[in-house]
Amino acid sequence: MITWKWILAASLLIPVSTLAQQKSHQENSAAADQQPSVQLVSASDSAPAPAPVKAAPATMDQVVNLAIQREHTLMSLLRTRTPLVETYLQNLQRDPQFGAVPKDDRYFLGRLDLAASVERRDYLSKDESFEKNLLGGFGKLFKMEYNPMGFSWMIFADREDFDRNHYDFKYIRREFLGDVRCFVFDVTPKKDSGKGRFLGRIWVEDEDFNIVRLNGTYAPRPKNAYFFHMDSWRLNLIPGYWLPAYIYSEEGDFSYGSKDKLAFKAQTRIWGYDLKKKAQENELASITVDSVKDESVAAADPSPLEAQREWQQQAEDNVVERLHEAGLLAPPGDVDKILQTVVNNLMVTNNIELPRPVHARVMLTSPLETFSVGNTIAISRGLIDVLPDESCLAMVLSHELAHIILGHNLGSKFAFTDRMLFSDQATYQNFGFKHSPEEEAAADAKALELLKKSPYTNKLDSVSLFLKELSKRAPELSALLTPHLGNSFTGDKGQLIRMSALMTSGPELSPGKLDQIAALPLGGRLKVNPWDDQVEMVKAAPVMIISARDKMPFEVTPFFPHLTRFEGGSSVATTTAANTQPKK
């Protein structure tokens, strides 16, 4: 039996600003004195060597020069990277009780190519035009149809001309963002410096003089088009560099009498910067594995049933590895152990023994989905985020565990490795782990049985409330509820079908009741390390809910990561390649 923080947090909303990426450590400054404060990511990397910062700047003018220089160095580094970029957007409408609430939503997932021009290859669209450079002219970019490229553009202030010829910089003040002391500057485009220039504020950290946050928009605004406002955050995940990680965008005015038609809020997340390098490491790792003797050979030859299970294991391993390579599945980590503990609780109390162990992994994407392949259960980051407590997590996992127990996951076609050979962008076209409606119903029935006999049986009220809230919000959140690999929570008409039997019992859903938290906003549970894709639980103190508008179930909220400097031994950084760590 586990005691998990979720139980304590069950009736308390996780705050909106909880995406701190690293533990707070400040020992770095001592080490920085003995070495150039800016280092290469690795000797073998194709990124050009950044010029080390020589002496501390004496004036704000020099700080600006260094910040401009560092911005161009960052662009050079990222030229060899193709991180994933995900944008989830909620269009808003006014609600008398809850303020601005989602009326519909959109979802984009793609791979950024930061080479010559910013390009975005989409995971979701089969439309070839997505493959082409979407950065035609600025006028086309930020129209009402939310070109996804528009959101990923905001990772830099100005890719082309970020310099003193095009911009004026005005020093404002010093300010701490998390643990990091920053110089704050207002940035304005010079007169007649061209269209689509950055207009806003930058925060420059005071050791290596990298930009760590950008907040503003682009100007001048072209006719019939919008430039979105953005708040763009970077994280210090490798020595000397701050990598774009989160962008929050919001438009709309809900004050009385406003005629603003465009109203939305959107979260853009970037991760998978180190995916290419991971693949190279795997090549080296396989040599070590080959040299290990297979002890099991001496024991016995496999029986036909054992061979069948071995074959299924191979299929499962292939799929898990391929999803990891595509940047869709987090590497194994501590969150998996939490998930597996819940699975074990369900299995032990139901006396279930399986010939192969059950594993649980985290999908890195936002849409609420689960799927299982072989004995591996995957659950999306977005779904974990919105679950209010452990019993709801048990409900979600029990459904996939039921598929495993009922033998629904026998498709072993992925044991043939040629079926893994496709581009990362084509993952969603090549993989799919959907079950038939009959299997879904059978899994729900079995899951209910598992839950009833489990330690969660007395806590099904919160599960009931979660499903009621999901059912109520589902019509407005179809993009969030569209699964890409597994089955949907909802049916054709947007009605909730997954585990719907649990909705018939339990308390009434009372949106106005402040102590009833049926579902959480997105982003409150898990944080992803954008460099190596490791996930960990957010460590946030509960924040008191003051009005019903604070609940924001399933909604996106601004990012406010607690910034810290890279620290070689920190838990999120230990899995990056050894050569990215500072020399001691």
Are 41 and 237 in contact by the 8 Å Cβ rule? The answer is no
In the complex, the smallest distance separating the C-beta of residue 373 from Zn ion, rounded to whole angstroms, is: 12
Minimum CB distance to Zn ion smaller for 142 or for 433: 433
Minimum CB distance to Zn ion smaller for 83 or for 486: 486
Residues sharing a CB contact under 8 Å with residue 50, sequence separation 6 or more, in sequence order? 38, 40, 70, 73, 76, 77, 240, 241
Minimum CB distance to Zn ion smaller for 109 or for 443: 443
Angle, CA of 3, 5 and 11, to the nearest 5°: 115
In the complex, the smallest distance separating the C-beta of residue 312 from Zn ion, rounded to whole angstroms, is: 18
Minimum CB distance to Zn ion smaller for 442 or for 537: 442
Helix then strand then coil, % of the chain, to nearest 5: 30, 20, 45
Minimum CB distance to Zn ion smaller for 112 or for 443: 443
In the complex, the smallest distance separating the C-beta of residue 446 from Zn ion, rounded to whole angstroms, is: 10
Given CA atoms 154, 160, 163, 169 in this order, what sign does their dihedral have? negative
In the complex, the smallest distance separating the C-beta of residue 320 from Zn ion, rounded to whole angstroms, is: 18
Q: Which stretch binds Zn ion (CB under 5 A): 293-301, 421-429, 436-444, 538-546?
A: 436-444
With H, G, I as helix, E, B as strand and everything else as coil, classify residue 241: strand
In the complex, the smallest distance separating the C-beta of residue 213 from Zn ion, rounded to whole angstroms, is: 41
Are 212 and 201 in contact by the 8 Å Cβ rule? The answer is no
* Contact flag: residue 487 with Zn ion (CB under 5 A): yes
Give the pair of three-digit tokens for residue 397: 């996992």
In the complex, the smallest distance separating the C-beta of residue 476 from Zn ion, rounded to whole angstroms, is: 23
Q: 168: part of which helix (H) or strand (E)?
A: strand 167-177
* Contact flag: residue 529 with Zn ion (CB under 5 A): no
In the complex, the smallest distance separating the C-beta of residue 487 from Zn ion, rounded to whole angstroms, is: 4
Binding residue count for Zn ion, defined by CB under 5 A: 4
CA-closest candidate to residue 559, choices 265, 141, 263, 218: 265
The amino acid at 285: A
Write down the H helix ranges in 239-389.
275-290, 296-299, 304-325, 334-349, 381-386
Q: List Cα–Cα distances, 507 to 398, 473, 514, in angstroms.
A: 22, 17, 14
In the complex, the smallest distance separating the C-beta of residue 383 from Zn ion, rounded to whole angstroms, is: 13
Among positions 91-120, residues that touch Zn ion (CB under 5 A) are none
Surface-to-core class of residue 546, CB atoms within 10 Å of its CB (0-12 exposed, 13-18 middle, 19+ buried): exposed
The label of the residue with tokens 């701190």 reads 20
Are 38 and 565 in contact by the 8 Å Cβ rule? The answer is no
Q: Which stretch binds Zn ion (CB under 5 A): 2-10, 139-147, 434-442, 502-510?
A: 434-442
Using CB atoms, what's the residue nearest to Zn ion?
487
Minimum CB distance to Zn ion smaller for 322 or for 435: 435
Minimum CB distance to Zn ion smaller for 409 or for 564: 409
Q: Which stretch binds Zn ion (CB under 5 A): 12-20, 29-37, 189-197, 431-439?
A: 431-439
Minimum CB distance to Zn ion smaller for 454 or for 487: 487
Minimum CB distance to Zn ion smaller for 83 or for 483: 483
* Contact flag: residue 372 with Zn ion (CB under 5 A): no
Site string for Zn ion, 438-467 (x = CB under 5 A): --x--x------------------------
Strands 241-251 and 197-205 come out as: unpaired
Minimum CB distance to Zn ion smaller for 336 or for 440: 440
Report d(CA 106, CA 550) in Å as an integer. 23
In the complex, the smallest distance separating the C-beta of residue 371 from Zn ion, rounded to whole angstroms, is: 8
Q: Which stretch binds Zn ion (CB under 5 A): 33-41, 209-217, 479-487, 563-571?
A: 479-487
In the complex, the smallest distance separating the C-beta of residue 49 from Zn ion, rounded to whole angstroms, is: 51
Contact footprint for Zn ion (CB under 5 A) = 435, 440, 443, 487
